[in-house]
Structure 1
Amino acid sequence: MSDNLSGIINDNTHYFPKRVYYSDTDAGGVVYHSRYIDMAEHGRSELIRLLGGDQKSLLDESGLAFVVRSLNVSYNRPAFLDDMLSVRTRLSKCENFTLIFDQKIYRDNELLTELEVKIGCISLGDGKPKPMPREWKQVIEEKMMS
């Protein structure tokens, strides 16, 4: 398959395509508000995958996980059944324990939803914040904040 299912990175922005399916909508074909949060999560996960990060290995080998620390969402316009959307993700801050993402969901050039998502790195053993692996931080900064 030649299409990259993880999207693309261009000018420090990750572009992830997402079609709206029936399961994303209510009976009127309007996307549920919580689905935008799911779309943003998928965009961030695919961005990490494109950067070479393997979150399952991070969990299995070091007991570390990325978790949502806080989330701010603005819903501007609705999306509908069968719309083709673009989840656009930019990294605004990369610290030892925290990543802050600015995400926008578009239909063509129409801005539908804006999210600011703060992600923390924690130990699954005790649930406490832990620094992300140095090599992860380095790759993220080099590829997303240059």
Structure 2
Amino acid sequence: MHRFDLRVYYEDTDLAGIVYYANYLKFIERGRSEWLRALGFDQRALKEETGTVFAVRRVEADYIASARYDDELSVVSTLDTLSPARLVLVQRVMRGEERLFEAKVTLVALNAAGGPTRLPKPVREAYAALS
């Protein structure tokens, strides 16, 4: 499990002062990137050294409650499924103990040509050690 904390800024909201729906996807992207960094991986270095990048293949999202300007939020990410070529994560955006948004995100590995490839072995091993 990984936790990434953030604050809602004015730019994240719509005219009603609530977080614009697409920004939750940005929040969980940041959570995924910071989790990978916390595991010791730099995505730029992975691309340069292995030619591997990550792409979102599928997102199943539930919008449960609204976040508002200046709220302190947390993105909580957990590993759901790991295979040689993909990760499935469950990510929740929380305000304290209140769940505002939840998504099941499938990530795949792509090679330099944009085709499917296996996750780099060190990345697979790092996530496998979490389960």
TM-score between the two structures when normalised by the length of structure 1:
0.87
State whether structure 2 residue 72 is matched by structure 1 residue 84: yes
- Output the aligned Cα RMSD: 0.8
1:124 deviates by 2.3
State whether structure 2 residue 130 is matched by structure 1 residue 137: no
State whether structure 2 residue 34 is matched by structure 1 residue 39: no
> Could you tell me the percent identity over the aligned residues?
36
Structure 2 counterparts to residues 34-73 of structure 1, below 5 A: 34-73=22-61
What secondary structure sits across from 2:15 in the alignment?
Answer: coil
* Distance in 2 between residues matched to 1:77 and 1:139, nearest whole Å: 33
**Alignment length (residue pairs):** 131
1:63 deviates by 1.3
Aligned match for 2:109, one of 100, 121, 124: 121
* Distance in 1 between residues matched to 2:112 and 2:59, nearest whole Å: 21
Cα deviation per residue 1:48-96 (whole Å; 9 max; x = unaligned)? 0000011101111221101000001000000000000010000111111
* Distance in 2 between residues matched to 1:35 and 1:122, nearest whole Å: 25
What secondary structure sits across from 2:79 in the alignment?
Answer: strand
What secondary structure sits across from 2:37 in the alignment?
Answer: helix
Aligned match for 2:92, one of 93, 104, 108: 104
Query: Unpaired runs of 5+ in structure 1?
Result: 1-12
TM-score between the two structures when normalised by the length of structure 2:
0.97
